[in-house]
Chain A
Amino acid sequence: MSITVRSLTKTFGTFTALDGVSLEVEKGELMALLGPSGSGKTTLLRLIAGLEFADAGTILFDGTDTTHLSARERRVGFVFQHYALFRHMTVADNVAFGLSVLPRGRRPDKAAIAARVKELLELVQLGHLAGRYPAQLSGGQRQRVALARALAIEPAVLLLDEPFGALDAQVRKELRRWLRDLHDEIHMTSVFVTHDQEEAMEVADRVVVMNHGRIEQVGTPVEIHDAPASPFVYEFLGHANKLDCRIDGREVAAGGWSAPLARVAPAAADTPAPAGASAAAVAYVRAHELELLPESRAPEAAALAVVRHLTARGGQVRVELSRRPDGAVLEAEVSRAEADALRLTPGTPVAIRPRALRLFAA
């Protein structure tokens, strides 16, 4: 089932949690809502579930308006951040709950419910814990019970609020892969909320980056990674250098370095600043787009810097630099081979120049 969200607005008192958000979740897709706390991602998820009601805007499931339906009528599977398992029921009773509250006419008989519960617990690999109480389970197990419980009602869509938020790092990683596999198996339209970009990128088909109640960017993990659409997305994803720069005609310049717009920022070159005028701008250069050169071979238009710290990460080396003369801290990422060739150690002077950058109005 597809989900369409149109200009959704929601305020809590004076706080605007969602500010005219529109979004399309396609059938069978696994989508992540990514953003810092207070960005409105959880509010959006709860609005889709019917656990909050919007001040304005509409929500459609497969083109049918569900804006005014209650949570009960929407048939969404919702997995709460802290699981919200019924503490006084066993695992099996938790999973059976959604079936046992169906109106008498549509309620399966006891044996059918038991069979379905068994099947679901097998699916989440917890068949052996059916008789336990939630308090007797680990965090990862509770998470999977919550998922099985949500799936029991054969929901139209599956919504998960910070599904891995309360788990420790190891369990988290396993569960992430497991959720991805599960989704590939059942192909249910699913939306989950996370503040962890790695999680979003690794699990989701598409990622929605949110900030201050608005959507900053929607795209596949690759699109978001390769072409962040706004300064916020750059900063949120991290490992990007922010440079204050000036644009002069068809040239961009920052801290002793300059280059033709056409070469480093082709998109911006199409709309050059008026000739003779000079405009301030902000440029973002990702760590791997910052080129390091031996100081001796520094081209005229390069900036100079000193290596402050090196961190090896797999085949890559992360280089922390201090730009001369202003001491601005920059981050670069080079291959081990390059690092060796440049003989990088703390204190090594180098020349730097961006291979590519993205410009935003200052």
Chain B
Amino acid sequence: MKRHVLPGFSLTMGLTLLYLVLIVLLPLSALILKAASLEAADYWRIVSSQRAVATYRVTLTAAAWATLFNAVFGLTLAWVLVRYSFPGKRLLDAVVDLPFALPTAVAGVALTALFAQTGWYGRLLAPLGISVAYTPVGIAVAMAFTSAPFVVRTIQPVLEDLRPEVEEAAQSLGASDLQVFARVIFPLIFPAFLAGCALAFARSLGEFGAIVFIAGNLPFRTEITALLAYIRLDEFDYPAAAAVASVMLGAAFVMLLVTNSIQFWVQRHSERA
């Protein structure tokens, strides 16, 4: 047995493991066991039912649009916050975190109020024939809001660490601003950018609170997977709830793997630089 110099290893490690087993691993296993107790055919019937597949499509599509929006908006915001100084910049920087600080249910009712027919934005959009609330667009808007800070916050530190010499070198070799951005700056921030997008996408897949208010929740049209799991539970259809939740759990683990790999790549990338 290796002896530690600092005291407290057994105590803290023991408590940490005990707590994780009780709070994280036991519930996790309970869900997996429940899902595994279903007959394979039943499981497949539930998770491949038309309604379930429709929720996957709605969730994935909305998450993709939300992530695309945040990729552009987040990159712009990060660039502005790092490269320019202007009055109110600190405040702008602080506001970026608002979606993380605001409870999702509160964000949900607020966004719904904004985009409802009579809301501040709904009123403006209605004459143009655009409706956001109670449509798939609303889902994407809610996802975009709750995951907005990810891209900004992952790019920001990398952009800050970019040494001016790198750009100056490219400029001195005759590159135009656009060429410097496309061929020098963007490749350097790309891993972080990708990591931010992956985190935002993962978050959007699991989002619930902000969406249920604005989505309208029509099966096949505006019903997300998280809601389907919730509804099945409400109907006491426990096997279905377990099966749908296990699909979401699987998706979460895949995204965890993806983001971990990207972050590993980011680390190696930054070490090289």
Which chain A residues have a beta carbon within 8 Å of chain B's beta carbons?
50-53, 70-71
Contact = CB atoms under 8 A, between A and B. Distances in A.
9 contacts: A50-B5, A51-B5, A52-B5, A53-B2, A53-B3, A53-B5, A70-B5, A70-B7, A71-B5
Contacts of B5: 50-53, 70-71
Contacts of B7: 70
Nearest to A46: B5
B176 to A, nearest CB: 45
A187 B3 CA distance: 33
A86 to B, nearest CB: 16
Interface string B1-30: 011010100000000000000000000000
Contacts of A50: 5
B262 to A, nearest CB: 29
A53 B1 CA distance: 11
A53 B7 CA distance: 13
A52 B5 CA distance: 6
A314 B53 CA distance: 89
B270 to A, nearest CB: 25
A151 to B, nearest CB: 22
Interface in B133-173: none
Nearest to B5: A51
A13 to B, nearest CB: 12
Contacts of A71: 5
A51 B2 CA distance: 13
A50 B6 CA distance: 10
Interface in B48-70: none
Nearest to A50: B5
Contacts of A53: 2-3, 5
A53 B2 CA distance: 8
Nearest to B2: A53
Which 5 pairs from chain A and chain B are nearest by CB? Answer: A53-B3, A51-B5, A71-B5, A52-B5, A53-B5
A71 B6 CA distance: 9
Nearest to A51: B5
B78 to A, nearest CB: 32
A78 B3 CA distance: 20
A71 B7 CA distance: 11
A80 to B, nearest CB: 13
A73 to B, nearest CB: 12
A314 B5 CA distance: 49
A70 B3 CA distance: 10
A15 to B, nearest CB: 15
A233 B271 CA distance: 37
Nearest to B3: A53
Q: Which of B2, B3, B5, B7 has most chain A Cβ within 10 Å?
A: B5
A121 to B, nearest CB: 29
B83 to A, nearest CB: 31
Nearest to A71: B5
B212 to A, nearest CB: 47
A71 B5 CA distance: 7
B236 to A, nearest CB: 55
Given A50-B5, A53-B3, 4 more contacts: A51-B5, A53-B5, A70-B5, A70-B7
Contacts of A51: 5
Contacts of A70: 5, 7
B201 to A, nearest CB: 39
A46 to B, nearest CB: 9
A52 B7 CA distance: 13
Contacts of A52: 5
Contacts of B2: 53
A70 B5 CA distance: 7
Q: Which of A50, A51, A70 has most chain B Cβ within 10 Å?
A: A70
B6 to A, nearest CB: 9
A53 B5 CA distance: 8
